[in-house]
């Protein structure tokens, strides 16, 4: 919601006031860019704080809308409601991620809180159980009240939750002694219920990775994991209808009804449950239809598909008519009361000044000219990108406009700003004289930074759960022992489970499950048994820890000495990027990855400092490390410095030579290669020209480290796969690091390479 302030400014305009005066009902806005749809909805939501339902054409458009509107409103208030994304009558269920998004959106609407639910036309039409079906399923758990512990576990199983040893994703629960962890569908983090007997002593949300408590609450409501949870009587109704048929599919469905997750239940539940649509779950919502023309075309396509599939399947298996799965008339019901957002013009009285931004296709000077012209006319310019590396690049490119250095806030008082947001396209907002330009319009390329990555953490508790009596374990404070058992004991008047670890001379250590992160499985050489440590002062573990600590301190002192010397050195401070650098980078034929741009900006920032650069760029083969080196080399050459590219093999030298030659073809840069592919006469000539400064970029193997190789004005050394060089060569490279900027590229981040960086 970095651009939340823009919606406040826009809410005061005559354009928006006309919408507000209509009660956000039965209103049409025409001739606006589709990129403005989220901005209009966000302004309405931020101003009126009313439940809002947005209807889009398909899954892709829905996700794009969700990403765009997050730039203007709090992300915690935005919920997608996708279609099932499976064909009807195929008797398969949607993915767990779609199930979660759907049921979360439904329960958010039922809560009555002001939220934005973004749906597709299909998810709007598709039949779902009526809201009373959902309301009666919620179970409230309050702190300090009593609940049958085993009944809660049974209820979770009946509600479709999967019992696991550790919860790390939606729809799971685990039981550890008197603790129940649940990952609810409507929560960002799992919740932990701590029971003493049948009394709920505490309720708190926690981080599933670190297990650290985040927030204590007084009450929670447990909802079913799935959208459709059948009671025994409802199962019986469906079963009777299916038994009438005699197909194999029907027989399989009858047998699967005894389970909670029935394949194809979304195609069968209308047999036993009254149906409704998404709209009925909201309380007096504001409804926005994005591009009604496209929505009607999509509606016709969906109806046609459902009817065709029904006619094809009904002869061989039991199928409900399409009219029972689709509420086609719901669109006609909401259309008269909805706000229609259309890019086309049919009535000039309803045209708002919200236009798209043309693409500059990497012509940076044109962008500068347009921004300067707009600012002179009193406009505000907001440049948006989805990741920090690109933001820093844009800051350097448009530094003349003095943008703010923080990218997570927007200052409406400044005429030029750079922000990080998920916007896909820009908007020209004429009524408040503001232009939002994305990096897509500036460079002509779409840069999308992944919002979430899979993270790997150590999981001590998983290791514990895999233990068997007799396994060796390591306690961080007491060393190696033998796992014996798990015993339930009373400590401080509270019963807890304890891990029992046996040490030398039969001594035993009891570790509470609350401190299980201090214990790990012992990992050693196969077939070799470790020495068991003793508890107390006799333990050799303490002496080992002291020696390790001493070694760490020595390494730290060495590193401190090296870096203090490096800080004291004064290297060449490269100037900021010039126009040729911008032009050179814009000619890159591929779309840079966000991490690639971040690496490029980090390298160029280091080069512009007074201390010599020593940076390691690590990435897999084919992920663009060479382009990082090419741009650093271009920057050095433009500053009048020479560049040395050092590679371990002749073949790699030839590959780099071809790549550099192609990229620098349009510029007066001299590039040569020094390797065994050259004759002795050619090598002699190259060395003489290198010494005279006639060669800008030299690419070679370890031959570049020979004593008779001299540079006139060396500025940067690029080392590719340093770990493949010998010890003597590495000592030479260490000396280079004290003299010039060094950029190391590696696809194998072994400790030695990281240590030298």
Average pLDDT on 351-357 reads 91
Separation between Cα atoms, residue 38 and residue 40, nearest integer Å: 6
Separation between Cα atoms, residue 151 and residue 106, nearest integer Å: 26
Higher pLDDT among residues 292 and 535, named by residue: 292
Give yes or no for a contact between 647 and 640, defined as CB atoms under 8 angstroms apart: no
- φ, ψ (nearest 5 deg) of residue 664: -95, 10
Check residue 235 and give its pLDDT.
Answer: 79
**3-state secondary structure at position 300:** helix
- φ, ψ (nearest 5 deg) of residue 521: -65, 140
- The least confident of 129-143, 268-282, 536-550, 695-709 is 536-550
User: Which CATH fold would you assign to the domain 356-443?
Assistant: Rossmann fold (3.40.50)
Check residue 239 and give its pLDDT.
Answer: 78
Check residue 731 and give its pLDDT.
Answer: 57
Instruction: Identify the DSSP state of 692.
Output: H
Higher pLDDT among residues 564 and 134, named by residue: 134
Burial 467-502 (b: 16+ CB within 10 A, else e): beeeebbbbeebbbbbbbeeeeeeeeeeebbbbbbb
Nearest residue to 695 via CA among 677, 707, 683: 683
Beta partners for 355? 428
Q: Can you state the percent helix, strand and coil of the chain, rounding each to 5?
A: 40, 20, 35
User: Which CATH fold would you assign to the domain 138-222?
Assistant: Penicillin-binding protein 1b fold (3.30.2060)
* pLDDT band, residue 684 (cuts 50/70/90): very high
Give yes or no for a contact between 165 and 174, defined as CB atoms under 8 angstroms apart: yes
Give yes or no for a contact between 719 and 652, defined as CB atoms under 8 angstroms apart: no
Q: Would you say the CATH fold of 460-544 matches that of 356-443?
A: no
Helix crossing, 579-586 with 625-638: angle to 10°? 160
Separation between Cα atoms, residue 115 and residue 54, nearest integer Å: 11
pTM of the predicted model as reported, rounded to 2 decimal places: 0.73
Does residue 169 have a pLDDT over 60? yes
Nearest residue to 365 via CA among 404, 406, 400: 400
Q: Where are the domains of the chain?
A: 4-132+230-350, 138-222, 356-443, 460-544, 579-756
Q: In CATH, what is the architecture of 460-544?
A: Beta Barrel (2.40)
* pLDDT band, residue 675 (cuts 50/70/90): confident
Mean pLDDT of the chain: 85
Separation between Cα atoms, residue 157 and residue 164, nearest integer Å: 11
Handedness of CA 667, 669, 670, 675 (dihedral sign): negative
Query: How is 297-356 classified by DSSP, letter by letter?
Result: HHHHHHHHHHHHHHHHHTTTS----HHHHB-THHHHHHGGGSEEE-SS-S-GGGB-SEE-
Average pLDDT on 289-294 reads 95
Beta partners for 192? 181, 204
Check residue 261 and give its pLDDT.
Answer: 59
Secondary structure (H, E, C), 74-126: CHHHEEEECCCCCCCCCCCCCCHHHHHHHHHHHHHHHCCCCCEEEEEHHHHHE
Average pLDDT on 704-709 reads 86
Q: For the chain, what's the residue count?
A: 757
Nearest residue to 353 via CA among 42, 41, 69, 30: 30
Separation between Cα atoms, residue 379 and residue 259, nearest integer Å: 62
Check residue 726 and give its pLDDT.
Answer: 61
**3-state secondary structure at position 661:** helix
C-alpha triplet 86, 92, 97: angle, nearest 5°: 65
Rg of the Cα atoms in the chain = 33
Check residue 641 and give its pLDDT.
Answer: 94
Give yes or no for a contact between 676 and 748, defined as CB atoms under 8 angstroms apart: no
Q: How far is CA 310 from the centre of its chain?
A: 39
Separation between Cα atoms, residue 458 and residue 214, nearest integer Å: 19
Does residue 701 have a pLDDT over 90? no
Q: pLDDT tens digits, residue range 99-118?
A: 889 988 998 898 888 999 99
Separation between Cα atoms, residue 607 and residue 609, nearest integer Å: 5
* pLDDT band, residue 514 (cuts 50/70/90): low
Separation between Cα atoms, residue 495 and residue 490, nearest integer Å: 4
Average pLDDT on 696-708 reads 89
Q: In CATH, what is the architecture of 579-756?
A: 3-Layer(aba) Sandwich (3.40)
Separation between Cα atoms, residue 119 and residue 722, nearest integer Å: 52
CB burial of residue 351 (10 Å; 0-12, 13-18, 19+): middle
Q: pLDDT tens digits, residue range 254-284?
A: 555 555 556 778 888 888 889 999 999 999 9
Q: pLDDT tens digits, residue range 18-54?
A: 999 999 999 999 999 999 999 999 999 999 999 999 9
Separation between Cα atoms, residue 513 and residue 460, nearest integer Å: 11
User: Which CATH fold would you assign to the domain 4-132+230-350?
Assistant: Rossmann fold (3.40.50)
Does residue 3 have a pLDDT over 90? yes
Average pLDDT on 567-577 reads 85
Check residue 755 and give its pLDDT.
Answer: 45
Check residue 752 and give its pLDDT.
Answer: 44
* pLDDT band, residue 463 (cuts 50/70/90): very low
Q: pLDDT tens digits, residue range 225-255?
A: 888 888 788 878 887 777 765 554 455 555 5
* pLDDT band, residue 557 (cuts 50/70/90): confident
Average pLDDT on 589-603 reads 88
Q: pLDDT tens digits, residue range 61-110?
A: 999 999 999 999 999 899 999 999 888 888 788 888 888 899 889 988 98
Nearest residue to 51 via CA among 230, 207, 284, 353: 284
Does residue 443 have a pLDDT over 90? no
Q: pLDDT tens digits, residue range 372-420?
A: 999 999 999 999 999 888 899 899 899 999 998 889 999 888 999 999 9
- φ, ψ (nearest 5 deg) of residue 81: -130, 85
Average pLDDT on 698-708 reads 87
Beta partners for 496? 489
> Which H or E element spans position 17?
helix 14-21
339-341, strands of its sheet edge to edge: 27-29, 339-341, 286-290, 52-56, 116-120, 78-81
Does residue 538 have a pLDDT over 70? no
Check residue 456 and give its pLDDT.
Answer: 39
Separation between Cα atoms, residue 688 and residue 709, nearest integer Å: 9
């Amino acid at each position: 919601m970095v651009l939340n302030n823009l919606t406040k400014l826009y809410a005061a305009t005559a354009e928006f006031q006309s919408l507000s005066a209509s009660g956000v009902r039965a209103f049409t806005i025409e001739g606006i860019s589709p990129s403005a749809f989220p901005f209009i909805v966000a302004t309405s939501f931020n101003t009126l704080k009313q439940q809002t339902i947005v209807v889009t054409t398909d899954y892709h458009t829905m996700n794009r809308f969700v990403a765009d509107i997050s730039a203007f409103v709090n992300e915690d208030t935005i919920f997608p409601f996708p279609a099932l994304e499976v064909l009807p009558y195929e008797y398969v269920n949607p993915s767990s991620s779609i199930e979660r998004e759907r049921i979360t959106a439904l329960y958010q609407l039922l809560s009555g809180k002001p939220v934005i639910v973004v749906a597709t036309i299909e998810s709007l039409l598709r039949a779902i159980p009526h809201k009373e079906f959902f309301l009666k399923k919620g179970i409230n758990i309050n702190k300090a009240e009593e609940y049958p512990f085993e009944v809660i576990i049974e209820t979770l199983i009946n509600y479709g939750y999967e019992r696991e040893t550790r919860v790390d994703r939606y729809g799971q629960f685990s039981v550890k002694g008197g603790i129940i962890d649940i990952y609810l569908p409507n929560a960002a983090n799992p919740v932990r219920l701590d029971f003493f007997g049948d009394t709920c002593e505490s309720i708190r949300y926690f981080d599933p990775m670190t297990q650290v408590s985040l927030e204590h609450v007084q009450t929670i409501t447990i909802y079913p994991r799935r959208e459709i949870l059948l009671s025994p009587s409802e199962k019986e109704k469906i079963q009777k209808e299916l038994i009438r048929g005699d197909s194999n599919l029907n027989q399989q469905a009858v047998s699967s009804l005894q389970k909670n997750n029935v394949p194809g239940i979304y195609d069968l539940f209308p047999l036993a449950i009254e149906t409704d649509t998404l709209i009925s779950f909201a309380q007096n919502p504001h409804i926005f239809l994005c591009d009604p023309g496209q929505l009607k075309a999509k509606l016709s396509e969906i109806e046609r598909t459902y009817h065709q599939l029904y006619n094809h399947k009904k002869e061989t298996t039991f199928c409900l008519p399409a009219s029972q799965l689709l509420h086609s008339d719901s669109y006609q019901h909401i259309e008269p009361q909805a706000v229609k957002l259309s890019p086309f013009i049919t009535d000039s009285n309803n045209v708002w000044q919200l236009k798209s931004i043309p693409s500059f296709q990497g012509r940076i000077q044109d962008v500068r000219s347009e921004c300067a012209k707009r600012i002179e006319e009193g406009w505000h310019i907001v440049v948006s990108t989805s990741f920090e590396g690109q933001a820093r690049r844009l800051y350097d490119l448009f530094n003349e406009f003095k943008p703010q250095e923080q990218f997570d806030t927007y200052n409406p008082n400044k005429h030029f700003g750079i922000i990080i947001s998920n916007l896909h396209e820009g908007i020209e907002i004429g009524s408040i004289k503001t232009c939002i330009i994305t990096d897509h319009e500036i460079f002509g390329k779409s840069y999308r930074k992944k919002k979430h990555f899979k993270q790997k953490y150590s999981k001590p508790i998983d290791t514990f759960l895999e233990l068997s009596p007799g396994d060796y374990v390591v306690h961080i404070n007491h060393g190696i022992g033998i796992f014996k058992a798990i015993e339930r004991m009373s400590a401080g008047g509270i019963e807890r489970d304890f891990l029992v670890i046996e040490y030398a001379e039969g001594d035993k250590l009891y570790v509470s499950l609350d401190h299980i992160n201090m214990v790990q499985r012992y990992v050693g050489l196969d077939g070799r048994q470790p020495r068991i440590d003793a508890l107390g002062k006799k333990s050799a573990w303490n002496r080992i820890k002291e020696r390790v600590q001493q070694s760490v301190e020595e390494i730290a002192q060495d590193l401190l000495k090296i870096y203090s010397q490096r800080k004291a050195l004064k290297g060449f401070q490269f100037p900021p990027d010039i126009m040729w650098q911008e032009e050179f980078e814009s000619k890159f034929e591929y779309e840079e990855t966000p991490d690639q741009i971040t690496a490029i900006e980090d390298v160029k920032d280091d080069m512009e400092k007074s201390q010599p650069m020593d940076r390691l760029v690590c990435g897999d083969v084919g992920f663009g490390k060479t382009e990082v080196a090419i741009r650093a080399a271009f920057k050095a050459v433009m500053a009048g410095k020479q560049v040395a590219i050092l590679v371990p093999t002749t073949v790699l030298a030839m590959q780099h030579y071809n790549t550099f030659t192609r990229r620098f073809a349009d510029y007066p840069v001299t590039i040569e290669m020094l390797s065994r592919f050259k004759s002795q006469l050619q090598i002699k000539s190259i060395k003489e020209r290198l010494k005279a400064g006639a060669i800008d970029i030299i690419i070679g193997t370890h031959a570049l480290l020979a004593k008779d190789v001299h540079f006139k004005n060396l500025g940067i050394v690029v080392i590719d796969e340093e770990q493949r060089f010998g010890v003597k060569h590495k000592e030479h490279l260490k000396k280079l690091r004290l003299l010039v900027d060094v950029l190391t590229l590696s696809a194998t981040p072994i400790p030695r390479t990281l240590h030298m960086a």
